[in-house]
Amino acid sequence: MGWKLELSCIFLAAMVIEAMLFHVTAEPVEDKQALLDFLHNIGHPHSLSWNENSSVCTSWRGVTCNNDQSRVIAIRLPGAGLSGPIPNNTLSRLTEIQTLSLRSNGITGPFPLGFSELKNLTYLYLQSNKFSGPLPSDFSVWNNLTVFNLSNNSFNGSIPSSISHLTHLASLILANNSLSGEIPDLNIPSLQELNLANNKLSGIVPKSLQRFPSESFSGNNVTYASALPPALPVSPPKEKSKLSEPALLGIIIGGCVLGFTVIAAFMILCCNDSGREDGGLPVKSQKKEVSLKKTTSESQDKNKMVFFEGCSLAFDLEDLLRASAEVLGKGTFGTAYKAALEDATTVVVKRLKEVIVGKREFEQQMEVVGRIRHENVVALRAYYYSKEEKLMVYDYYEQGSVSAMLHGKRVEGRSHLDWDTRLRIAIGAARGIAHVHTQHGGKLVHGNIKASNIFLNPKGFGCVSDIGLATLMSPIPSPALRSAGYRAPELTDSRKATHASDVYSFGVLLLELLTGKSPIHNMGGEEVVHLVRWVNSVVREEWTAEVFDVELLRYPNIEEEMVEMLQLGLACVVRIPEQRPKMPHVLTMLEEIRRMNTGNRPSSESRSEVSTPTVIAADIASSSVPQ
């Protein structure tokens, strides 16, 4: 056995060495020459030099090649001391380049014409140089362009309307230049960041761009005149009975399905709040008016609706007004609504109450949360922040939450949750939470793990929602709260949640899946029972079989799996935070159970003699630390 291993090690090493040699010899010779031509023809300090005898892909500063090292795909030379114009016919030969960063140098001259050859260009950073002259006129050559940052230069001339061909553009930063003329109507759904501040632009901010904050346009001579009269009077119902479409559309971000949905939900919420007012109009049109009034005043400080992913479907005003909203439930942090559009697009709009942090802090947290895309995390699609109203928009899950599935009214014909489903819920949720814990440099905490925040993704695995809100909201009074059943004992302030307190909450969820009981439940009579305490006491008394949901007992051959999950759940809810396992470990353990479950589950005959509840109970009692 030993020598075999050794042999394969040698073999592997040989392969690695061969691969390395191969890479040294195979390199993008033409790209290398283009880079040398570039450096030799632009002002640069001595310290920046590329050795022509060494590998461009592995040893040249600021150069990145593709996987097979056949082409250069990124150049990053920020603050490298480059000066003078970009020499013709040099960088433009790097035709596969995707990222080009030359920011914070002293580069002068025009935007290089040859860059139109760089068809794969995705990220372009030329900010903080001394470029001058016009912007390129034809943007349609860069299909994939995502970030275009030319800020802090001396570009002049107008902003070309061909920018609107860029269907992947996310950031367009042209601030601090001398651009003039009118702002073109750039209808780019993918655009998330726009900065045109401090130029010489004039005219009207086009509707399609009014979703961006006013700072995006400051330092120019531009107005919002046509779309949003500065002092729109709150006029009597009669004058308003005909909706002013331009006004409303000006407020609503251009042609975006989520935007419409949220505003629709928002409108409906407003209606509910203000109740029935007097007016000789039918109920439906009355709703329209109230909403218009509110929406308008709301949007005076323009547009705080922030989207995390492009949305491209367009809806007309009629669709918007037909959207219906329905209360899904009141949660810890606010009320959730289901908002349905006629094209069957449905989202959940959550209206937060008692957000205590300022706009900036809120936005920063949303930036972190909103960028998470994971199959076990419910996507945050958009949010809205104003003094009066904070809204969150999430994907909608048809089947409802795990809490509803476990404890909800039994619908005729709907079967209860079987063991496989519960395992998949646990594994999926663990994957989601483990992923959340890696975000923001490992500092992001879920903060509100409970069955009503977990849904089933299309593959039938758990999927977590409501991430990162706990730190933004006023603290939840300790007792008297349903969520208290999930809260780690050391946590006195809900804003101070930690990874360890998340693990505790997840442990409670595991116990809930196993027992079918709510974290705080009534055992009949007056007594209220904490699930964690109850499970611990039952296990201590060696009645383990009693803890499991009776619904699960009808499945053969799952006791051992249930017991494993029980052990894991109890390990997660130990009183001392440091003794709890970390989320990645919890996930591994759950996946082990799953492997047993799907893989080599023994037949019922061979299994029947293996385990009796009491034996197992003794196991657990010795391995877990009761509260």
Ligand X SMILES: *[C@@H]1O[C@H](CO)[C@@H](O)[C@H](O)[C@H]1NC(C)=O
Chain residues binding ligand X by CB under 6 A are 51-53, 66, 73, 85, 87-88, 96, 119-120, 125, 127-128, 130, 132, 143-144, 147, 149, 151-152, 156-157, 171, 173, 175-176, 195, 198, 202, 221
Query: Please, how many CA atoms are within 13 Å of residue 201, restricted to the half-sphere of its CB?
Result: 28
Place of tokens 């107005």: 223
Q: Please, are residues 392 and 347 in contact by the beta-carbon 8 Å criterion? A: no
Q: State in angstroms the smallest separation of the CB of 373 from ligand X.
A: 15
The nearer residue to ligand X, 144 or 324, going by C-beta atoms, is 144
Q: State in angstroms the smallest separation of the CB of 520 from ligand X.
A: 47
Q: Which of 615, 619, 624, 611 is nearest to 558 (CA)?
A: 611
* Residue 608 parent element (H or E): helix 604-608
Residue 531 dihedral angles phi and psi, to the nearest 5°: -55, -45
The nearer residue to ligand X, 177 or 332, going by C-beta atoms, is 177
Return the structure tokens found at 57: 């892909």
Q: Please, are residues 282 and 226 in contact by the beta-carbon 8 Å criterion? A: no
Q: Which of 467, 448, 338, 466 is nearest to 400 (CA)?
A: 338
Determine the Cα–Cα distance for residues 286 and 237; give it in Å rounded to an integer.
8
The nearer residue to ligand X, 202 or 300, going by C-beta atoms, is 202
The nearer residue to ligand X, 125 or 333, going by C-beta atoms, is 125
Q: State in angstroms the smallest separation of the CB of 112 from ligand X.
A: 8
* Residue 346 parent element (H or E): strand 346-352
Say how many C-beta atoms besides its own lie within 10 A of residue 436's C-beta: 26
The nearer residue to ligand X, 163 or 430, going by C-beta atoms, is 163
Q: State in angstroms the smallest separation of the CB of 114 from ligand X.
A: 8
Q: State in angstroms the smallest separation of the CB of 148 from ligand X.
A: 9
List helix spans (H) across 323-464.
359-370, 402-407, 419-436, 439-442
Place of tokens 């750039």: 186
Q: State in angstroms the smallest separation of the CB of 88 from ligand X.
A: 4
Determine the Cα–Cα distance for residues 11 and 480; give it in Å rounded to an integer.
65
Determine the Cα–Cα distance for residues 379 and 580; give it in Å rounded to an integer.
28
Q: State in angstroms the smallest separation of the CB of 133 from ligand X.
A: 6
The nearer residue to ligand X, 53 or 606, going by C-beta atoms, is 53
The nearer residue to ligand X, 87 or 310, going by C-beta atoms, is 87
Q: State in angstroms the smallest separation of the CB of 358 from ligand X.
A: 21
Phi-psi category of residue 441: left, alpha or beta, with phi > 0 → left and psi -120 to 50 → alpha: left
The nearer residue to ligand X, 121 or 347, going by C-beta atoms, is 121
Q: Regarding beta strands 99-101 and 123-125, do their DSSP bridges make them parallel or antiparallel, or are they unpaired?
A: parallel
